[in-house]
Amino acid sequence: MSATTPLAKLRAAVRGPEDPHQQLLALSTIVNTIGMGMFLSAGTIFLIRSAGLSPTAAGIGLTVGSLAGFGAGVVIGDLADRRGSKKVLIGSMLLEAVASVSLLLVHSLWPLLVVAAAAAVGRAGTVSARGAMIGVLAEEGKGARLRTYLRAVTNVGIAVGTIGAAFVLAIDTRAAYVTMILTDTSTFLIAAAILTRLPNFPPTRTPDAEDSAGEKTPRWLALRDRTYLSLTAASSVASLQYFVLVQALPVWIVLRTNAPRWMAAIVLFLGAVIVAATQVPATRFITDPRSAARLLALSGPLFLVAWILMAVAAGPAAWIAVSLLLVGIVVHSLAEVWQAAGTFELSFALAKPEAQGQYQGVMGLGHGLSEAVAPIIVISMCVNWGKPGWIVLAVIVTVAGLVCALIERSWSRSNPPARAAAVAGE
């Protein structure tokens, strides 16, 4: 079969990275996200059913504790830039492992606050330090493909973890929940052990770094970069789409449609499977920041179509509602793939190469703030407001995606050498 056939191109698109260092990072990522998928699906239920906390206490503990992670990613990301990403990433994962196993000792609110805070700091550090490492590895070539592939394996890991959590919830015993927590802990340890096989990457920044004019560069580059801060703000608004799917849609299905209640779980699982299967091939045309921005902008109209389908699922007979929801989740998943890949690529392309960890920390801070306010926004608009709320929120997300594309265009005009280097590097 010719290497130019569509099937051959598809196989090449879904194939993982050939670089052994990138393969180790991908393997560590998928192991890490299996545990993440388990805890995201059943962690709160563990605190209520096994640890003995009330739903209110569990919610307060996780929310307030997670606030400790705000800002930590920027500091830890800067540390990864200055000390090397490998050691900082492993250290962050070990902190997450300690926090995970410590959940077995939690039976009241205050211990949960401490554990949740440690977990939030570890998680923020892991995201930022992994970003710094991706920046180093991507310089060896095929950066967009690596970032897209890591996004795909992340969804695979979360989907696998979700299946494991389903078994735990079905058994619903202390032993099952303890097994889940220990499994989650082990995924951090195994992921960190995999990373020890990587070489010690040199720091990308030094305390005495100087710019082209010979002047000492400021330490907090990302916090001074107005273009990147604007991208962070716009992409954080666009990221509200994630929470529409996991928070608003299940409630909408149960309370506002005639679809069976089990559809609330089916659409989430189907969405995860579609994203995992299509992430790499659907974004294989991302070759530079401009193509990433274009894909990001195109995702908005798809969200609009998907959410209109979901909105009008309220009212018709059950089989019509199910059909609308299934088509809607397919369209939504494709839009999610495009938005995620475009945002992921721009978050690296518009950052200064020597400070990727710090820049990824800033991006994580913005998206963390979005996650904190998302429940109020998406529930209020999509569930309480009803059909008009779905459409208005879709327009907001669409505009935010277009703003991201405009920011990239402005950045390209003011940084032509950087854009040319990005194109050449891919």
Q: Where do the structural domains in the chain lie, given as residue ranges? A: 18-195, 221-425
Q: What is the pLDDT of residues 39-52, one digit of tens each?
A: 877 888 888 889 99
Confidence at residue 143, expressed as pLDDT on a 0 to 100 scale = 59
Fold of 18-195: Growth Hormone; Chain: A; (1.20.1250)
Residue 148 tokens read as 């897209």
Contact indicator for 73, 365 with CB cutoff of 8 Å: yes
Task: Please tell me the predicted confidence (pLDDT) of residue 418.
Answer: 54
- The topology under which CATH files domain 221-425 is Growth Hormone; Chain: A; (1.20.1250)
Alpha helices in 351-415 (DSSP H): 356-378, 387-414
Condensed to tens digits (0 to 9), the pLDDT of residues 294-331 reads 999 999 999 999 999 999 999 899 999 999 999 999 99
- In this prediction, residue 402 carries a pLDDT of 96
Name the pLDDT band for 216 (thresholds 50, 70, 90): low
Which residues, other chains included, contact 117 with Cβ-Cβ below 8 Å and sequence gap of 6+? 65, 66, 67, 68, 69
Q: Which residue has the higher pLDDT, 262 or 401?
A: 401
> What pLDDT sits at residue 190?
97
C-beta of residue 384 within 8 angstroms of C-beta of residue 277:
no
Q: CA-CA distance, 311 to 251, in Å (whole number)?
A: 12
Instruction: Render pLDDT for 380-408 as a digit per residue (tens, 0 to 9).
Output: 899 889 999 999 999 999 999 999 999 99
Q: What is the pLDDT of residues 136-189, one digit of tens each?
A: 887 544 556 677 788 778 878 887 888 888 888 888 899 999 999 999 999 999
In this predicted structure, the answer to whether residue 346 has a pLDDT above a threshold of 60 is: yes
Range of weakest confidence among 141-150, 245-254, 336-345 = 141-150
Q: Using 50, 70 and 90 to split pLDDT, how confident is the model at 1?
A: very low
Q: Please answer whether residues 162 and 269 qualify as being in contact, where contact means their C-beta atoms are separated by less than 8 angstroms.
A: yes
pLDDT at 83 over 90: no
pLDDT band at residue 219 using 50, 70 and 90 as cut-offs: confident
Question: Do 395 and 162 meet the contact criterion of CB atoms below 8 Å apart?
Answer: no
Same fold, 18-195 and 221-425: yes
